[in-house]
Amino acid sequence: MLYRGVGIGYGLGLGTVHHLNFLTADPDPAIDPASDIAQEQESAARAFDALIGDYRKQGEQSDKDDVAELCKFYVMFLSSAALRREVSTSIADEHINAASALTRVIGSKRDELAALDNPYLAERASDLDDLARRLSARVLGLEEPDLSALSGPTVIVVDELPPSLMLSRNLSQLVGIVTRRGGRTSHAAILAALRDIPAVFAVADAAELLKEGEEVLIDAAAGTVETELDDEARALALQRKEQKARRSVALQKFIGVPIRSADGVELTVLANAGDLTEVDEVARICPEGIGLFRTEFLYLNRGSAPTEAYLKGVTTRILQSFPRGRVIARTLDVGGDKDVSYLNIAREDNPFLGRRGIRHSLAFDDIFQTSLRAFLAASGQASGRLRLMYPMVTSPAEVTAANEALARARASLDDEDIAYDTKLCVGAMIETPAAAVRVAEFLELCDFVSIGTNDLTQYTLAVDRGNATVAALYSHFDPAVLRLIEGVIRAGRDSGRSADVEMCGEMASDPLALPLLLGLGLRVYSVSTPFVLRTKRLLSLLDTELCAKLARQVMTCATADAVRSLLESAARGMYADWYF
């Protein structure tokens, strides 16, 4: 049998199924207020301290910067005096035990994150789930699963993968992961990819379909889990595993190397980043730079807005990590249902169509000014490398208004004799149909534009990108979406500015989409870090003339399915061994 889900990484994993279950529920949360409050508060404090100790040790022992950074983030979160106070208050005021208070308090922070419409940020919620679960396990005296004690090649099956499991030092017997929930951009997924453990997430009913002890084959690139294997399938799997291992070594040679298409056209691949814990790994894999830095991450998990000094410090540190590359900081993309308590975001009936992205920044000038002054001041330290990009614009007037705000920020820095890059490049995201159809006007106003296919698909097709009920209607291969993308790329070409049209939505890393995008004339691709080297390699195998012919054919297709199957057969011919 073959089951499908969302593949994480590229590898194959052959092993036996082991189900992991986590006990978190506490049957009786009530405590006796007269005698137990202090004891429970003490127990919560001990759990915090013990976990801080664990993460410190794991961070120090790790040879991977990302793991060390992630551990630092956990230590910082767990050390928050405000958080610890909230847990103590919850125990005292609600008369509940430590495990329940920890679950409730961290759970409410988790819910805030999970409600965000940005899948990348929403998936940070699973980090908080994991912390709450581990703290509760401590106070309840429950054992945590130990993956270093697996007895043979094992594929774990779990409801949702806690990132902490991926921090274990010895994962030599873990050959695959299957989950029922979770997405491509969760920390757990990023860590699994970093540790090269093939995973397939979001396999519905994984717990029932896969039996304890049965042999399964995970194919992360295809996003499949296969059961009932015969000798032939097993031998083929081993052979493909060896081939893939050789290729992943071969990919390393693309690090930091400029690329061209097979017929010599210069191309650029940059990385998307949102989380500070990632920056060192992004800089290692993609020293060319960051094509989308989702700065909203700097505003989450806090009680008040970040200061100018903090934003400047973070931006400077990121720029320092890319001494040869550029960094595109997208200004705050909150609003709608990304509810950050101190940012004055009112409840709205249709939050995706509400005060999102640039609309929020234009409505709250003080928050916008703080960030613009910080970005400008950071740009002064390294001329020409920082760029700014406005999210979710729908009219050129919004860019003009945002540029006016930027001019005011410049003037205020002039008054204080603070240096900044006077030629700072400014761009707009093309992620609404309105922006796509008026792209020529945006190009007049901006140094560059970047196509955000995640939102462009959602807004063009009127399909909520986070709503599973209508997920089948959401496709960046829909002919309507493709026509908008074609128009945006053409506008760049017609004005002799192809290099100023970038793409930073997930489509830019889709192996099936690459021949089409190259054929349409896209030259700059910004993709999640795990896909940077693969994207470079695939683009370097393609011929722009052949791809242009393919693109013309694709543009005559009437449905997303027809587009996909045409692109599938094209990819089979162009780089079959890489994708299939």
Give contact residues for Mg ion (rule: CB under 5 A).
Answer: 431, 452, 455
Residue 504 falls in the annotated catalytic set = yes
Looking at 286, 446, 504, 557, which residue is catalytic?
504
Residue 187 falls in the annotated catalytic set = yes
453 binds, among Mg ion, ligand PEP, none (CB under 5 to 8 A by kind): ligand PEP
Shortest approach of ligand PEP to residue 223 CB, angstroms? 20
Tokens of 148: 């270093």
Residue 418 and residue 54: Cα distance in Å, rounded? 43
Helix (H) / strand (E) element for 396: namely helix 396-415
219 binds, among ligand PEP, Mg ion, none (CB under 5 to 8 A by kind): none
> Is residue 450 helix, strand or coil?
strand
Residue 474 and residue 453: Cα distance in Å, rounded? 11
Please say whether the beta carbons of 290 and 272 come within 8 A. Answer: yes
Dihedral sign for Cα 155, 216, 123, 248, please: positive
DSSP category for residue 59: H
Q: Which is nearer to ligand PEP, 223 or 505 (CB)?
A: 505
Q: Which is nearer to ligand PEP, 321 or 453 (CB)?
A: 453
Shortest approach of ligand PEP to residue 257 CB, angstroms? 25
**Burial zone of 145 (CB within 10 Å; 0-12 exposed, 13-18 middle, 19+ buried):** middle
Tokens of 316: 């400077």
Contacts made by residues 93-96, CB under 8 angstroms, sequence distance 24+: 95/30, 95/31, 95/32, 95/33, 95/37, 96/29, 96/30, 96/31
Residue 128 and residue 287: Cα distance in Å, rounded? 30
Q: Which is nearer to ligand PEP, 308 or 348 (CB)?
A: 348
Q: Which is nearer to ligand PEP, 12 or 392 (CB)?
A: 392
Residue closest to Mg ion, measured at CB:
455
Cβ atoms < 10 Å from Cβ of 322: 22
510 binds, among ligand PEP, Mg ion, none (CB under 5 to 8 A by kind): none
432 binds, among ligand PEP, Mg ion, none (CB under 5 to 8 A by kind): none
294 binds, among Mg ion, ligand PEP, none (CB under 5 to 8 A by kind): ligand PEP
505 binds, among Mg ion, ligand PEP, none (CB under 5 to 8 A by kind): ligand PEP
Shortest approach of ligand PEP to residue 493 CB, angstroms? 21
Q: Which is nearer to ligand PEP, 301 or 528 (CB)?
A: 528
Shortest approach of ligand PEP to residue 488 CB, angstroms? 13
Where does this chain bind ligand PEP (CB under 6 A)?
Answer: 118, 292, 294, 333, 431, 452-455, 504-505
C-alpha separations of 225 from 38, 211, 219 in Å:
49, 12, 6
Q: Which is nearer to ligand PEP, 97 or 529 (CB)?
A: 529
Residue 43 and residue 362: Cα distance in Å, rounded? 47
Q: 349: which residues sit within 8 A by CB, 6+ positions away?
A: none
Q: Which is nearer to ligand PEP, 99 or 504 (CB)?
A: 504
Three-state secondary structure of 105-153: HHHHHHHHHHCCCCHHHHCCHHHHHHHHHHHHHHHHCCCCCCHHHCCCC
Shortest approach of ligand PEP to residue 504 CB, angstroms? 5
Looking at 187, 425, 446, 557, which residue is catalytic?
187
Q: Taking Cα atoms as reference points, which of 367, 369, 366, 374 lies closest to residue 420?
A: 374
Helix (H) / strand (E) element for 8: namely strand 6-8
Shortest approach of ligand PEP to residue 153 CB, angstroms? 36
504 binds, among Mg ion, ligand PEP, none (CB under 5 to 8 A by kind): ligand PEP
Q: 524: which residues sit within 8 A by CB, 6+ positions away?
A: 267, 268, 269, 270, 291, 499, 501, 502, 503
Please say whether the beta carbons of 366 and 308 come within 8 A. Answer: no
Shortest approach of ligand PEP to residue 452 CB, angstroms? 3
Three-state secondary structure of 478-542: CHHHHHHHHHHHHHHHHCCCHHHEEECCHHHHCCCCHHHHHHHCCCEEEEEHHHHHHHHHHHHCC
Q: Which is nearer to Mg ion, 431 or 478 (CB)?
A: 431
Shortest approach of Mg ion to residue 431 CB, angstroms? 5
Shortest approach of ligand PEP to residue 247 CB, angstroms? 28
Q: Which is nearer to ligand PEP, 114 or 233 (CB)?
A: 114
Q: List the beta strands (DSSP E) in 207-265.
A: 215-219, 224-226, 259-260
**Burial zone of 152 (CB within 10 Å; 0-12 exposed, 13-18 middle, 19+ buried):** exposed
Shortest approach of Mg ion to residue 333 CB, angstroms? 6
C-alpha separations of 249 from 62, 190, 199, 416, 533 in Å:
22, 19, 19, 51, 11
Start-to-end CA distance of the chain, whole Å, equals: 18
Q: Which is nearer to ligand PEP, 336 or 396 (CB)?
A: 336
511 binds, among ligand PEP, Mg ion, none (CB under 5 to 8 A by kind): none
Residues catalogued as catalytic: 187, 504
